[in-house]
Amino acid sequence: MTLKKQSIVVAGGGSTFTPGIVLMLLENLDKFPIRSLKFYDNDAKRQKQVADATEIIIKERAPEIEFKATTDPEEAFTDVDFVMAHIRVGKYAMREKDEKIPMKYGVIGQETCGPGGIAYGMRSIGGVLEILDYMEKYSPDAWMLNYSNPAAIVADATSRLRPNSKIINICDMPVGIEHRMAEVLGLKSRKEMVVRYYGLNHFGWWTDIRDKDGNDLMPQLIDWVKEHGYVTPSELEGTSDEEIEPSWAYTFGKAKEVQWLDPDTLPNTYLKYYFYPQDEAEHSDPEYTRANEVMDHREKNVFSECNRIANIKTAEDAKLVADDHASYIVDLARAIAYNTKERMLLIVPNHGAVENFDAEGMVEVPCIVGSQGPEPMTQGSIPRFQKGLMEQQVAVEKLVVEAWMEGSYQKLWQALTLSRIVPNARVAKQILDDLIEANKDFWPVLK
């Protein structure tokens, strides 16, 4: 059977992840053929550097694909089947502020969790709605696969403000952790595992992991994780060939302390910010946060390599590599385009998937995906510990969205106060007032 060729626009063409995703798409053309690839960004200069290199890569490796980079929404969003969206409203300059402002008060600042994630959410909602509206205007049948963060807040906002839109929010953290689990188990691929999982984005637990024959793999994994977190055997022995930055190495190790809270399940790494916020603050350098690390490493490496390719006009010896983890994006797009019924973890309206949880909360659960979109799989009732945590966190996320919709200072103060990461209402207010000042070009005016 010949597969219908697809037309894609990558929104956030200037993202540091774009080259890895393009190379991943090129590696998967047999499974997901592409006729047109476009980049869209609102920063022409940043996008051009990635686009100039991409143009050369495509000419050399898949010249049949039509490629174009643009800042014009009509040109970008017309005649597309999929919008792959990873924008960062405010870019790294604002991520740095999200991380550093709370640290002035001894509170951890993080990209997607706590006050940092709340600040980023208040910037992201408008940016994601804008591209969703462009898609619906110029390609009403298209689907948007969104991984712009903070995905939990963005997903809640889009589900409330654009309830009928064809947008699916996804995260690569479970994919990355499952990749590590497969290594611990000695499996070739994480796809040999069938998982049950529930939670919010960056806030969830695996409850069951089996091989394709139904054998229970949880006991072996739990034995490993309670001792080593998600550090792999080869990392422990120092024989791993995967490069990993110190902050991620720390996170994967810290996962063991997160696992201890519920010995029967396996946690998402992001729960560390909620269970051990003081440890995270102590472990961070308020003068040099993750944003600095990313700017000094990933951003420098990606842009200098793109510029080098553009200068020498060939990508034959390019050091850019396909982001294999990002192949879940192809799995998702394929599932919709060709009705493959792939089972994947997605962020979707609960609607009973977690029986004893808010029907309107956006949860991360396994879904079967076909051309009609995701069908969530029921995960039953959850224990009081997780339910309590999730109720609190979903309220934080919903208050942020309401603060954005209503321009409400009070609701944003409540959201910050309710976050497990912020110690009290006074500190919440101090952080909020500083964040308002720093975000005045991005947030709605709060009254």
Q: Which residue is nearest to Mn ion (CB)?
A: 171
Burial of 408 (0-12, 13-18, 19+ CB in 10 A): middle
Verify binding: residue 396, ligand NAD, rule CB under 6 A: no
Reading the block at residue 373, the tokens are 């979109």
Residue located via tokens 């200098």: 304
Query: For ligand G6P, which residue has the nearest CB?
Result: 173
Catalytic residue list contains 328: no
| C-alpha–C-alpha distance, residues 320 and 91, integer Å | 21
User: From the list 173, 217, 336, 346, which residue makes contact with ligand G6P (rule: CB under 6 A)?
Assistant: 173
Note whether 423 and 385 are within 8 A (CB).
no
Rounded Cα–Cα distance for residues 130 and 11 (Å)? 11
CB of 308 to ligand NAD, least distance (A): 18
Q: Minimum CB separation from ligand G6P for residue 294, in Å?
A: 5
202 is in an annotated binding site: yes
Q: Are 157 and 397 in contact (CB under 8 A)?
A: no
- Report d(CA 217, CA 357) in Å as an integer: 27
* DSSP, residue by residue, 376-387: EPP-B---HHHH
Question: Of 173 and 309, which CB lies nearer to ligand NAD in the complex structure?
Answer: 173
Which CB sits closer to ligand NAD, 17 or 274?
17
Q: Which stretch binds ligand NAD (CB under 6 A): 21-29, 141-149, 282-290, 371-379?
A: 141-149
Note whether 371 and 225 are within 8 A (CB).
no
| 183 interface partner picked from Mn ion, ligand G6P, ligand NAD, none, CB below 5 to 8 A per type | none
Q: Which of residues 293-322 bind ligand G6P (CB under 6 A)?
A: 294
Nearer to ligand G6P, 34 or 363 (CB): 363
Cis peptide before 33 (omega within 30 of 0): no
If binding is defined by CB under 6 A, does position 51 make contact with ligand G6P? Answer: no
User: CA torsion sign, 279 to 289 to 394 to 229?
Assistant: negative
What per-residue string of b and e applies to 221-254 under the rule 16 or more CB within 10 Å gives b? bbebbeebbbbbeebeeeeeeeeeeeeeeebbbb
How near is the Cβ of 297 to ligand G6P at its closest, in Å? 9
Residue 290 touches ligand G6P, criterion: CB under 6 A? yes
- Using CB under 6 A as the binding rule, whether residue 172 contacts ligand G6P is answered as yes
Q: Contact letters (x/-) for ligand NAD, 82-121, by CB under 6 A?
A: ----xxxx-xx-----------------------------
User: 190: which DSSP letter?
Assistant: G
Q: Which of 172, 208, 323, 358 is catalytic?
A: 172
The verdict on 41 binding ligand NAD (CB under 6 A) reads yes
Task: Give Cα 87 distance to the centre of its chain.
Answer: 11
The answer to whether the annotation marks 149 as part of a ligand binding site is: yes
Pairing of strands 34-40, 6-11: parallel
- Rg over alpha carbons for the chain, rounded to the nearest Å, is 21
Told to judge if 105 belongs to the known catalytic residues of this protein, a careful annotator would answer no
Q: Is 127 in the site for ligand NAD (CB under 6 A)?
A: yes
x/- string (CB under 6 A) for ligand G6P, residues 132-171?
-----------------x---------------------x
- d(CA 271, CA 280) in angstroms, rounded, equals 11
DSSP state of 271: G
Interacting residues with ligand NAD (CB under 6 A): 11-12, 14-17, 41-43, 46-47, 86-89, 91-92, 127, 130, 147-149, 151, 171-173
* Residues contributing to the annotated binding site: 95, 149, 171, 202, 290
Binding-site residues for Mn(2+):
171, 202
- Active centre residues (catalytic): 172, 270
List interacting residues with ligand G6P (CB under 6 A).
Answer: 111-112, 149, 171-173, 290, 294
